[in-house]
A and B are shown apart, each in its own frame.
Chain A
Amino acid sequence: MKLEGRHWIFLGLFAAVFIAMALNLGLDVAVSGDTQGMYEFIDTLSPGSTIIVSFDHEASALPEIRPLALAVLRHAFSRNVRVIGTALLAEGTGVGYRLMQQTAREFGKDYGSDWVYLGFKPQYIAAILSMGESFSRTYPEDYLGQVYSDLPLLNDINTYDDIAGVVSVADGSLTTHWIEYAGSRYNVKIAGAVTAAMITTYDPYLASGQMDAMVGGLRGAAEYEKLIKTGGGGERGMLAQTVSHLYVLALIVVGNLAYFLTRRKPKEGRG
């Protein structure tokens, strides 16, 4: 087994993250304006109002998505906001149901009256537009196969007019479709809980007011957990995240130094 340069880099990263996790130290994070905005988005909803939390992500994004979604759901349930779960990507369907079930159990919320999971609907644009016309026609049954009219929460929900806001939990561009089709056409408030890689994609929508709030990445999750005063995956991962970033920065500095030093050598040799 011969180890090359890149293997040492991987081993170094593994060691850095392992040590950070073994230390298990909480890292105090400053709450950013974006996360504060997302907190206020949920916090200002009146108890009894209904929001949609849409799980528009793939399973591979779970390490980032899970703490974000849990934090938002915990906040919503703690404020007695009713939650309807949907999924515009097939892979997010099972994940979303599990996360909603977990948080609903934590807060003693009843399925059917406090939360409902409608599940996956194909053709996301058609699904978003269709909900604007009629929720019951879009989802005749929920994820568990129960008829729409049998669920008390859904009896009050006909169109987006009955929805206080949509939180799209996404690792890609699906939040854009909520903004463009539900936000622009039906004037429903849109917020995003997105992976760090997608933050720059949604920043222009946040700045223009087309999106009402956004929380992003593991850091965003840690900030949100701080605001709602519960620990979670975000807070636990922050030390490891910081250490790994310092490690990458060190590699960039060392790599550049090595590049400039080795570039000068031929000149010196010729002189």
Chain B
Amino acid sequence: MDWGTIIAGLLTLAILTFLYRDNPVYRVAESLLIGVAIGYFLVITWTNTLMDLLFIPLFTDGRLLLILPFVFGLLMFGRFHPATKSLSRLSMAVLIGSGAGVAIPVMLEARTIKQMSATVMPLLASSGMPNWSAIVVMIGVLTTLSYFYFSREHKGTLGHSARIGVYFLMIFFGTTFGYTVMSRMSTFIGRMEFLLTDFLRLTN
């Protein structure tokens, strides 16, 4: 058995001790996980971001335009001193402005317009039979939207519609929760498979 498997096996068992109660062994494993993850992230960020995208192109290849993002990046550190704090706002303004400029048209198209148009489907199939999927989607969208209409008290027709909307929401939450349980179980099964097969070699 290689050292990687032994270390991974012992750390998995250390994390699982939390199921009994919080203890020093668990906390050591947890701290190790956080430390390694941050270290890995820092190394990747240093090599793939700062070196590849800034320092090498700027100082080795002589792409002088990169001085701008370099200076804006440095201004971000102004936040650490009260006298220079306001300088970081320049960088934040560029970041938020460019981010919003890129995101808003895309979000509008992909999350609103295309999603809305997907809910408007023919209620009758070409054979003349009802398109049940489209009918359910239409009822679901309208009733769920009515639940989030707060300018009028939920009474009468609006109340009934909002109530049906709540049922659609509950079905969605239940489905999402079910899938989440499935996902967590898969993670547990994956770790169990590693422990029982690779580490303890109790199963094939």
Question: Considering the complex, which residues of chain A in the window 40-66 have a beta carbon less than 8 Å from any beta carbon of chain B?
Answer: 60-64, 66
Bound CA–CA A91/B190 (angstroms): 18
Complex contact A63–B191 (CB within 8 A): yes
For B188-204 the 0/1 string (1 means CB < 8 A from A) is 11111100110000111
Using Cβ atoms and an 8 Å threshold, which residues of chain A touch B172? 200
Bound CA–CA A183/B110 (angstroms): 9
Complex contact A63–B187 (CB within 8 A): yes
Complex contact A10–B19 (CB within 8 A): yes
Using Cβ atoms and an 8 Å threshold, which residues of chain B touch A121? 48
Complex contact A196–B180 (CB within 8 A): yes
Complex contact A180–B182 (CB within 8 A): no
Complex contact B187–A64 (CB within 8 A): yes
Using Cβ atoms and an 8 Å threshold, which residues of chain A touch B191? 63
CB contact between B203 and one of A7, A21, A209 (< 8 Å): that residue: A21
Chain A interface main SS type: helix
CB contact between A90 and one of B40, B106, B109, B181 (< 8 Å): that residue: B40
CB contact between B190 and one of A93, A180, A233 (< 8 Å): that residue: A233
Chain A: CB-nearest residue to B191: A63
Question: Considering the complex, which residues of chain A in the window 167-206 have a beta carbon less than 8 Å from any beta carbon of chain B?
Answer: 179-181, 183-185, 195-200, 204
With most chain B CB atoms within 10 A of its CB, the pick from A181, A208, A233 is A208
What's the least CB distance linking B185 to chain A, in Å?
5
A77 contacts partner chain B, Cβ-Cβ < 8 Å: no
- Beyond A60-B187, A196-B186, A245-B182, whether A119 also contacts B48 by CB under 8 A is yes
Using Cβ atoms and an 8 Å threshold, which residues of chain A touch B99? 125
For A81-103 the 0/1 string (1 means CB < 8 A from B) is 00000000011010000000000
Bound CA–CA A64/B52 (angstroms): 32
Question: Considering the complex, which residues of chain A in the window 231-258 have a beta carbon less than 8 Å from any beta carbon of chain B?
Answer: 233, 236-237, 240-241, 244-245, 248
| 24 cross-chain CB contacts under 8 A | A7-B20, A21-B192, A21-B197, A22-B203, A24-B204, A63-B187, A63-B188, A63-B190, A64-B187, A120-B44, A122-B48, A125-B102, A185-B106, A197-B180, A197-B182, A199-B179, A208-B114, A208-B115, A208-B118, A209-B118, A216-B179, A218-B186, A240-B193, A244-B189
